[in-house]
Amino acid sequence: MLQHLLFAYQFSLDRGRVMVKDLSDEQMVWQPHGVVNHPAWILGHLALSSDGLARRYGLPSTLPEGWTDTFGAGGIPSGAAADFPGRDRILDELAAQHARVADVVGAADPAVFETPFPDERRRQTFPTLGDYTAFVMTTHEGSHIGQIAAWRRAMGLGSATGI
C-alpha cells in the first residue's frame, strides 16, 4: 500500500507543475472574482505542509526563511507578485519537500504509522501518524491542486491537463 501512497503524492506534484507551466510570476498571484488562494500561495502552502510532515518524522525544517509566514494557513494571501517567490522557485521548493517526505515515509518502519498522532488536539481527526501522513500526502494535496484547476477556470485559462 505504501507504494500507492507514494505514487499519489508524486502524481500531485506532477499535476501541480502542469497546472502552472504556462503562467508567469505575475499571473501566479492573480485573484479573480474574489478567489484569494492563488497558485503561488497554494503551491508554497503545499511545500510548507510537506516540510511539516517531514518534521513529524524527525527531520529538521529546510524551508527558506519567511515561508512559514508567507504560506501559512489562516491569512489572506497578497495579490502582489513581489510578496512571493517566483513560480520556478516555488516549484523547486515543493519538489525538494516532496523528495524529503517520500524518502522518510518510504523508509519508515511500518509500525511508526500506527503510533498515536503526537498532537493531542488533532488526534480525534487523525488518530495515528499514518492517518495524518495519508491526509497530507493525498487529500490535502489533491484539494489544493483542485483549487488551482478552479482558479484557472475563473481566470478564463481553461484546463491545463485536457480534462
* Structural domain that includes position 80: 2-154
Answer yes or no: is 163 within a domain. Answer: no
**Which amino acid makes up residue 1?**
M
**CB atoms near residue 117 (< 10 Å):** 19
Answer yes or no: is 42 within a domain. Answer: yes
116 bridge partner residues: 128
**What single string gives the DSSP state of each residue in 61-91?**
P-PPTTHHHHH-TTS-----GGGS--HHHHH
pLDDT in tens, 56-97: 999 999 999 999 999 998 888 999 999 999 999 999 999 999
When pLDDT is cut at 50, 70 and 90, the band that residue 6 belongs to is very high
Report the distance separating Cα 36 and Cα 43, nearest Å: 13
Number of domains within the chain: 1
Find the DSSP H helices in 29-140: 39-56, 67-71, 87-107, 129-134
Model pTM score: 0.95
Answer yes or no: is 23 within a domain. Answer: yes
What CATH number does the domain containing 11 carry? 1.20.120.450
pLDDT in tens, 14-62: 999 999 999 999 999 999 888 899 999 999 999 999 999 999 999 999 9
Answer yes or no: is 38 within a domain. Answer: yes
Taking all residues of the chain, what is their mean pLDDT, rounded to a whole number? 94
